[in-house]
Structure 1
């Protein structure tokens, strides 16, 4: 037993940074000099509350026993509470905050990119076949103005239709159908008037820019033969542009059309452009799995170029009143989330929580806390780690004390039947008995109390084969543990078994 005690002490010394911190579960922290007026009932081992002394002394690691004062001894009954020395709390720099209830103001920060305003874009097509002559636009990116000649088109069909119009006019006939044919072939109205006034056909018909803008695409060259349907070029007005912001799915419920948005461009540091969300696209962008929101910005100087990346901040909608805490207070392990509460000075408890939405540095709490609770925002990782060490220590201690031939194991209560003196529980694999993790019914020895056990309680159990009946096992000891993690081992087989099956 001396070797086991020394091993336990060494384990605790390693887990707590070679004695830098000292914790104990269910105990009471040592007091400062101002506590000398209080009556000391006894001194308690810093790691094992069952070891007591009437006089001050040190443990195997050279750490002082903790004085227990009158009025504090009843607090040792709660196994879920961790007691930490006020001196250690101060050295750890523990900070706390209250759980609050209120609306969360959600600020969405994301990235976006500049696109051409599709409503300010036009395409130049031909309605008849012909040859490109006198091409005035040679490269993409050239700026053009509305009415400017882009190129001239030689089309035999247009020349023939003009001759038909002139012949009709010479006969003083109805020229309406001939004019409609020219318009259908894409001849501008001013060119038709010019033909009528001059009395001769235009071999080269001018094609003009439909709007101001920049040539985004140029698909022809001088002398090229083109057919109807060919996009000769496209022109975009960049005096107004779109910023397309990417939103993650969990952010989409905070954004709606009409919300204010701020756009920052890396090449214009310190400058903020203000716009609003004009449209939210109804489908997800498949490559990125994001929802796109469109923001329209004026660009009179043309410095914002299509393809540029931006930082976007959207003033999202506020939530309904909810419980929320500082995000730094939540310990996120991937499988679950936990927080540490401080019930009073030096007394801490670990809670499993379910978190919801995030707004800046605040996290919504869906389950696990009440408004006004005091939570630890700094140093909680050390406390949470110590809570896990305490559970492991209790298991080691139970194994060391199991000198009656029983085997110690960890489990979780499912059902308690005090009248039949039976419990149903999930236990971990037990190598000593060759058992896998299972759900089992156990008979309980007469001297083991069942009144304080409830479904869900994590426990340390001692299992022993009955002397009067072979292959029948009973529980000779049940010790309720703190449950800092709320996790149970994944059992490969949860078919119900009883203690009689082995």
Structure 2
């Protein structure tokens, strides 16, 4: 162990016992506690060079007169390159603390701020559709409450007077078409329907017309006063609802990945201490702010008691939870060097090793680890910088994962013994187990249908080591079936059944199979054109032996051909 840990031990002892205690006890603390300072190894026994079964507990000669060879205890398999081994007492003195790697859905939390606004999809703007003068204004100021159907303003417009007169003239003449057109024009100018009915009843033109609120809410952006001259396009006022409100917030660019539409949001305001509102992310704006490089969000909150008011400052917390699990470690466990991120893994028998990790997302408590640790690991969360400085001197920063209990291989079936559930397979190398390519027997487990396997198949298969030390096939993916036997031969067509695609042919002998000439039925594949065939034609055809005899190719036979082709495909 290097001087860094020794110095720390001296400082620890000094803090408890004083300077004198350091001089007296520091050597004793160091002695025997660092397992790396071990004594010289002694032989376990001596063996004959030519006969390992001939053993003695001291040096001597073998029966052949040769000097016995000492045998030493082999290094423990638990020793890992770059690992620092520390006695339990020293671990306590260093204040080493560990935590388990967590496998759970990643929970992200984003804290930000926002401002309450009117819900713009419930905001109605009031515009005149004709020019005129505002004779009376029935709302007092911005923020005034208004009910649906309540009067907003009264407008004098010569064009409205003319439109009324046109309707009365049409009614007087009894012209229904003109009367209907006059009513439509008044309605298009937003004249209330009850005003039109009253005009038809009294037959008296009104010099001004009163307009009413289309919805309940509060007055916003009141921009006119009595006597104002207005024309189409002038925004007189707006009516906003407070049953629901929008809250617009911003998050930093590195938090944008944690924000999704529909994500739950919790809101609190200084105006109402101790109270919280629950809402959701309704819209994520497509661009970032050019000034602050932040992403704008729009959230919707119910406001039945209308306590939330526009321009209130709000604190927002956005929550997200993945559906899939991931590996995470405490934030304080990660060592960032600028070029490499590392954690210190607690191994067996008081060993610690620095390993490089690839980090993912981060929340206020945990950091996602994409590569470098296992779910069964324990990570050092306190004093890890000291352990890392020691381990880094010789560590390869690699986390050696245990060999998997199951591996997938590719191979070809050589033989199947269903009664014993044995399958002989020539398989490709399995690097996970450091197996070379070889041929061996496997036992088919109960979940594998051994009747699916046959000689000549190529397949991907999963292998697991059984309790009895054998290797069992636990899963199969058949890649190809055994190659079928085929032959090419000449023959004469006797009968053609187009509907069932059956051709009766008197074929020549097949020498390779030692089959004499015969007359039999064949099934034509879809690639064979039956319409081009005639009874009595001499043909040359290739067929495969499947469940049926299937013709895959068929052509007119050469005039000089009088023997079969014994090629097997």
Query: Residue 380 of structure 2 is aligned with which of 376, 400, 404?
Result: 376
Find the aligned partners of 1:143 and 1:162 in 2 and give their Cα distance.
32
Local SS of the residue matching 2:310 = coil
Is contact 1:255-1:317 (8 Å) kept?
Answer: no
Residue 145 (str. 1) matches residue 143 (str. 2):
no
Q: Report how far residue 378 of structure 1 moved.
A: 1.4
Is contact 1:86-1:345 (8 Å) kept?
Answer: no
Cα distance per residue 1:121-174 (max 9 Å; x no partner): 100001111111212223211111111111111111111211222222233333
Match of 1:82 in 2: 84
Q: Report how far residue 351 of structure 1 moved.
A: 2.1
Find the aligned partners of 1:248 and 1:71 in 2 and give their Cα distance.
59
Find the aligned partners of 2:76 and 2:119 in 1 and give their Cα distance.
73
Query: Residue 202 of structure 1 is aligned with which of 202, 206, 209?
Result: 206
Cα distance per residue 1:221-274 (max 9 Å; x no partner): 221111111111111001111233434555555554444433222322322222
Is contact 1:132-1:221 (8 Å) kept?
Answer: yes
Match of 1:185 in 2: 189
Residue 41 (str. 1) matches residue 43 (str. 2):
no
Q: 1:340-379 to 2 correspondence within 5 Å?
A: 340-344=344-348, 346-379=350-383
Q: Report how far residue 286 of structure 1 moved.
A: 4.7
Find the aligned partners of 1:176 and 1:214 in 2 and give their Cα distance.
36
Find the aligned partners of 1:148 and 1:270 in 2 and give their Cα distance.
38
Local SS of the residue matching 2:306 = coil
More divergent stretch after superposition (215-224 vs 251-260) = 251-260
Match of 1:230 in 2: 234
Q: 5+ residue gaps in structure 1?
A: 1-8, 23-28, 43-69, 392-502
Match of 1:173 in 2: 175
Find the aligned partners of 1:40 and 1:330 in 2 and give their Cα distance.
32
Q: Report how far residue 329 of structure 1 moved.
A: 0.7
Match of 1:298 in 2: 302
Match of 1:216 in 2: 220
Is contact 1:81-1:349 (8 Å) kept?
Answer: yes
Rg (Cα) greater in structure: 2
Local SS of the residue matching 2:324 = coil
Q: Report how far residue 111 of structure 1 moved.
A: 3.1
Find the aligned partners of 1:232 and 1:276 in 2 and give their Cα distance.
33
Is contact 1:133-1:154 (8 Å) kept?
Answer: yes
Local SS of the residue matching 1:310 = strand
Is contact 1:16-1:386 (8 Å) kept?
Answer: no
Find the aligned partners of 1:333 and 1:15 in 2 and give their Cα distance.
24
Find the aligned partners of 1:359 and 1:339 in 2 and give their Cα distance.
17
Q: 1:4-403 to 2 correspondence within 5 Å?
A: 19-20=10-11, 41=39, 80-84=82-86, 86-174=88-176, 175-249=179-253, 251-344=255-348, 346-385=350-389
Aligned length: 345
Find the aligned partners of 2:78 and 2:85 in 1 and give their Cα distance.
9
Residues 13, 377 of structure 1: alpha-carbon distance in 2 compared, 3 angstrom cutoff: closer
Structure with bigger RCO (C-alpha 8 Å, 6+ apart): 1
Residues 318, 40 of structure 1: alpha-carbon distance in 2 compared, 3 angstrom cutoff: closer
Across the aligned residues of Structure 1 and Structure 2, the Cα RMSD in angstroms comes to: 3.8
Is contact 1:21-1:88 (8 Å) kept?
Answer: no
Residues 89, 344 of structure 1: alpha-carbon distance in 2 compared, 3 angstrom cutoff: same
Find the aligned partners of 1:354 and 1:21 in 2 and give their Cα distance.
34
Find the aligned partners of 1:286 and 1:322 in 2 and give their Cα distance.
34
Q: Report how far residue 17 of structure 1 moved.
A: 6.8
Is contact 1:278-1:296 (8 Å) kept?
Answer: yes
Is contact 2:283-2:299 (8 Å) kept?
Answer: yes
Residues 335, 196 of structure 1: alpha-carbon distance in 2 compared, 3 angstrom cutoff: farther
Q: Report how far residue 71 of structure 1 moved.
A: 8.3
Local SS of the residue matching 1:321 = strand
Is contact 2:5-2:386 (8 Å) kept?
Answer: no
Find the aligned partners of 2:140 and 2:73 in 1 and give their Cα distance.
94
TM-score (norm 2): 0.53
TM-score (norm 1): 0.59
Find the aligned partners of 1:339 and 1:30 in 2 and give their Cα distance.
31
